[in-house]
Amino acid sequence: MMILLLWLIAAYGMTQILVYGSIFQGLRDSINTMGNMRVPVISPLFNFINGIITCMMCCSTWVGFFMSFIWSPWVNIMEVHPYVGVFFDGMLASGGVWAINAMVEWFEENRK
């Protein structure tokens, strides 16, 4: 159970850095600029990527997909097929990161 909690905290940390971290600000700005250029093939792709890296829930889904290649809670704990595990790891990361982020935002709004 503890390793699952650590996996969720790692997913939250990676997502937090990708969405809000100053280290990726230039990359996020460049992707947004490329999406606004109105190039027929390139702009929709960059708008899609921009939507992923600006949303905690969307970004955490993809972080969960990629983290499952390192260690998969669904494969190692629940013993499901690895291909199915990748999908459920994305959903687990999305839900877990959303819950952690909701608690963090609640404390940020309600502190004195």
Query: Mind listing the pLDDT tens digit of every residue in the chain (112 residues)?
Result: 899 999 999 999 999 999 999 999 999 999 999 999 999 989 999 999 999 999 999 999 999 999 999 999 999 999 999 999 999 999 999 999 999 999 999 999 987 6
Task: Give the three-class secondary structure for 23.
Answer: helix
Residue 111, amino acid? R
Contact 50, 35 (CB under 8 A): yes
Question: What pLDDT is stored for residue 31 in this prediction?
Answer: 96
Which residue bears the tokens 């600006």? 54
Q: pTM surpassing 0.85?
A: yes
Residue 69, amino acid? F
What is the residue range of 12's domain?
2-109
Q: How big is the chain by its Cα radius of gyration, in Å? A: 16
Task: Count structural domains, the chain.
Answer: 1
d(CA 95, CA 87): 13
